[in-house]
Structure 1
């Protein structure tokens, strides 16, 4: 069996990608292209650093299940209050896109500042992106964004467990997930865009202004499912990557504040729903991010669902 990364190194693909990059940039104000360097290859995507005469950009190509990222990024950019960068160019058929360099990443900024305080701005901005897409579910699904709404999650979870050879016997059945979904749905918040992998490597802060990028793992689901990765998987680990070293409560309140304002929701009910969302978020992440050649990541996410720790 060939390495799934080989397709991104195939000379035919590289020649086509380079030609497309030159076609987008050579005649424009930022061109011509001086160098294209393939910097990142995974089984599901590749990234190339594009150096033009007057700018640096990044080219990205995704595997079929994530090909919607380019069109989704453009869709969100128009509704994000400048918190999602609009692609310089993209192609809906191939899913290829070019993005302006937005360095530095939040990850490097946190390491330098020794503080997680910037996450408060990120979470507020991200919640407002979600709120702006509450009435856009049909449009999001039409773009190819996966459907992980609460009504679909128990069945998808059942299918995932059925396909795992060594699932943890402590994992509850689909009926437990269904009951959790019903409890969360009772709050009445609309489904919307959900990044599903919002960590400090996906947030960029050029000029100190946070931008949320890398929407390839995004899905349509309950907004609070996003809290699993962001709060429990990242922020709780603090600056020094030590589990439970940071109180996530203040960050959760920063995220929930726009929801309380928009929906005039009771704070206690929002907090209770957020805790349920944080648990269910790991089910969503396990389902949405499952790769047959990487079962270890799926098992880690399911352990997070069970125990809140990897």
Structure 2
């Protein structure tokens, strides 16, 4: 998932403008085989995003004279929405650097929830696995690994080969097993998904072939919109197989109980008393919303889970969907609504009409237009539950990426419910 500011700014262009202001300054705590080498910085990097570690690694390598791998974010002072401020990272040198660096304090404590790829041993194991898998496939690496992104939800690494780049992706235990999801969608539309070169047995390491083209932020090309009909066609075909997919169940009926469990943690959510009263009232209304959504006639199926245009790649001919780590079982209107926050109102209207037309064609007699209206509160509550799952399963130092997200989505659910047009008014 994109970080908070891009999700909630009202569109990606607003996030772009904010990024120009929220530049990042970084410190790097360097280790080598358990030895504390010292601290680099602070120094500025062009990209403001905390999880964009490529410029951090490149700057550290230029100073140290040896390749480094950024393991994790240690802390941030200032910044907001996943970018800006003074960000401190832990990086592991791949060889012992020469020269002396300033010492750093006790900032590298252990955390039982730390991701495997956020440790030197775990990242080396992932890279070794990728190297072995590429050799076994007859496509060995032809150069050093380029680290692109790393945070609590994934690590992304570009590996050069004679047949073009391969991509290693590492994912957490609470993420979907992406190879399985890609296989499901690929069985319906092979060109809709990336090519999987290898996957480990538990679905936490994935090797993907390169997907050419560009990310579809803003959907500037009309041809990109074909991804909507193709996703709908695949989801309609998968509806009968969804229950056997092994994915998390975030269907509206299951969501009712999940939301009620979340409301038991009111001290963590940080809601005002008025907001809490509204949230509890919404809890009572959810069963009716779930029934109303089901009456729209769309089948529960496999969801992408984060179907915004930044997760579409376009090469001038067709779009390929990427990042299936939030895939689940649910109502397809959740995917249908996801692009809205990332588009202009004009573009969203076009996306909406195409999605409605596609589902009307695949399920005659259904009411996908009403489904989009009714699904709004439920979709936001699904994200509230999902973000709380992130917070429950990531180490303390990286909670900064997601803190406040569950409460923000609850507020959006309440606002969305008011807009549904139901006669059951929200209290407060």
- TM-score > 0.5, shorter chain as reference: yes
Aligned to 1:296: 404
**Structure 1 residues 92 and 207: alpha-carbon distance in aligned structure 2, compared to 1, 3 A threshold:** farther
**Structure 1 residues 250 and 298: alpha-carbon distance in aligned structure 2, compared to 1, 3 A threshold:** same
Where in structure 2 are the equivalents of 1:1-310 lying within 5 Å?
A: 2=110, 7-107=116-216, 110=219, 115=220, 117-141=222-246, 145-165=247-267, 166-167=270-271, 168-169=275-276, 170-171=278-279, 172-231=281-340, 233-235=341-343, 238=344, 245-246=345-346, 248-265=348-365, 269-290=367-388, 291-292=390-391, 293=399, 294-308=402-416
**Structure 1 residues 27 and 182: alpha-carbon distance in aligned structure 2, compared to 1, 3 A threshold:** closer
Deviation at 1:163, TM superposition (A): 1.7
Secondary structure of the residue aligned to 2:155 is strand
Structure 1, unpaired ranges of 5+: 239-244
Relative to the length of structure 1, the TM-score reads 0.85
**Structure 1 residues 173 and 139: alpha-carbon distance in aligned structure 2, compared to 1, 3 A threshold:** same
Say if 1:203 and 1:211, in contact at 8 Å, map to a contact too. yes
Say if 2:149 and 2:155, in contact at 8 Å, map to a contact too. yes
Relative to the length of structure 2, the TM-score reads 0.63
Distance between the aligned counterparts of 2:205 and 2:284, measured in 1?
40
Distance between the aligned counterparts of 1:126 and 1:222, measured in 2?
13
Alpha-carbon RMSD across the aligned residues, in angstroms, is 2.4
**Structure 1 residues 2 and 276: alpha-carbon distance in aligned structure 2, compared to 1, 3 A threshold:** farther
Secondary structure of the residue aligned to 2:148 is strand
Secondary structure of the residue aligned to 2:146 is strand
Say if 2:148 and 2:156, in contact at 8 Å, map to a contact too. yes
Distance between the aligned counterparts of 1:297 and 1:78, measured in 2?
34
Aligned to 2:73: none
Secondary structure of the residue aligned to 1:133 is helix
Distance between the aligned counterparts of 2:221 and 2:377, measured in 1?
23
Deviations 1:68-119 (A, max 9, x none): 1222222322222421123111123252111112143334684xxxx36345
Deviation at 1:217, TM superposition (A): 0.6
Deviation at 1:29, TM superposition (A): 4.4
Secondary structure of the residue aligned to 1:38 is strand
Distance between the aligned counterparts of 2:136 and 2:351, measured in 1?
45
Deviation at 1:62, TM superposition (A): 0.9
Secondary structure of the residue aligned to 1:58 is strand
Aligned to 1:241: none
